[in-house]
Amino acid sequence: MSLSIILTVAVGILSGLFIFPEAFAGRISLIIDIGLCLLLFFVGMDIGRNKQIINQIKSKGYKILLIPLGVALGSIAGSVLGGFVLGLPINESSAIGAGFGWYSLSAIVLSKYSAEVGALAFITNVCREVFALVSIPYIARYIGKLEAIAPAGATAMDTSLPIISKATDANTAVISFITGVVLSTLVPILVPILISI
Amino acid sequence: MRIILYVLIILAGAFISNRGLLSSIVEKNLSKLQYASLLLLLFIMGVNIGINDEIINDFSKLGFQAIVLSLSSIILSVAAVKLVSTYFKYKEKAVKQDES
């Protein structure tokens, strides 16, 4: 996890507290909208550059897609269950779960809906990445290699990949990458759908 | 309606980079551009949080909720993949039995 990301959010919070006038809040939605479109465009470019991904999926067989599907359903079901215990509305808890550990994108999409839900999505998905990094070696050893991909979610293609690759084997690392790409593609689609339920 | 716009933008980005329509200058600096726009957005998101007094006052509550949500997400996603991998092993066994 990059320190500059946490620092940027912290500096933003402090400027919101002490520098920006309250009236600025009304303009934030438009700024986020424009920036989000730009960011999604770059996300698309990243996905388009991974040309080998389709071939990798073909060589592993389409049944390999059951793994990202399982991670997606499990993550959303888990956060809905957790949200139910906490008394959160189902659209908020499911959308936060559909961040799949990609804290920046899910939090930005949701902060358009409400600053509080955006903040919760950010902290939840930062926690998810931290817990993932800590638990992956143990899950790989005591539960199974494929299961070790699950906590990583969308980060299975980048930040968590080195740890998964070290704790498992080359074959699992390729499946981890595929899982990460599929889940990362789902985040900007599922989060807005779930929050508008 | 917004979701259609989001998907169209992602598809446009994927199409352009997949076809190699990017100029090499943009291509080389893509990750820097991406990171800059991300940091700008996160800064704005931070401002949005800081302006809102309720969130600042509720910060410890949010932290607790975040731990519950992230742990429950991880546990059920591991369980779901456990189901999938058990299914894979069952299929493999069935194939081997057919062969022998």
Query: Domain range holding A178?
Result: 28-195
Domain-embedded: residue A11: no
Whether the predicted pLDDT of A138 surpasses 90: yes
Identity of the residue in B40, B77, B85 whose CB atom sits nearest the CB atom of A78? B77
Domain-embedded: residue A19: no
- The rounded distance, in Å, linking the Cα atoms of A22 and B94 is 65
- The rounded distance, in Å, linking the Cα atoms of A183 and A173 is 15
Domain-embedded: residue A16: no
pLDDT of residue A60: 81
Identity of the residue in B7, B14, B78 whose CB atom sits nearest the CB atom of A45? B14
Q: Give this complex's ipTM.
A: 0.88
- Asked if B31 and A88 touch (Cβ cutoff 8 Å), the reply is no
Domain-embedded: residue A22: no
pLDDT of residue A45: 82
Whether the predicted pLDDT of A77 surpasses 80: yes
Residue of A nearest to B30 (CA): A42
pLDDT in tens, A5-25: 888 889 999 998 888 887 777
pLDDT band at B1 (very low <50, low <70, confident <90, very high): low
Closest-CA residue to A138 (of A170, A163, A155): A163
Domain-embedded: residue A82: yes
Q: Please compute the mean of the pLDDT values over residues A185-192 and round it to a whole number.
A: 91
**Number of domains chain A contains:** 1
Interface contact flag, A66 B78, Cβ < 8 Å: no
Average pLDDT, chain B: 85
Whether the predicted pLDDT of A150 surpasses 90: yes
Q: At which residue do the structure tokens 């949005």 appear?
A: B48
- The rounded distance, in Å, linking the Cα atoms of A170 and A162 is 11
Smallest Cα distance from B94 to chain A, Å: 16
pLDDT in tens, A24-64: 777 888 888 888 888 888 888 877 777 777 788 888 888 99
Domain-embedded: residue A55: yes
Interface contact flag, A9 B56, Cβ < 8 Å: no
Query: B16-25, B50-59, B89-98: lowest mean pLDDT where?
Result: B16-25
Domain-embedded: residue A57: yes
Smallest Cα distance from B37 to chain A, Å: 6
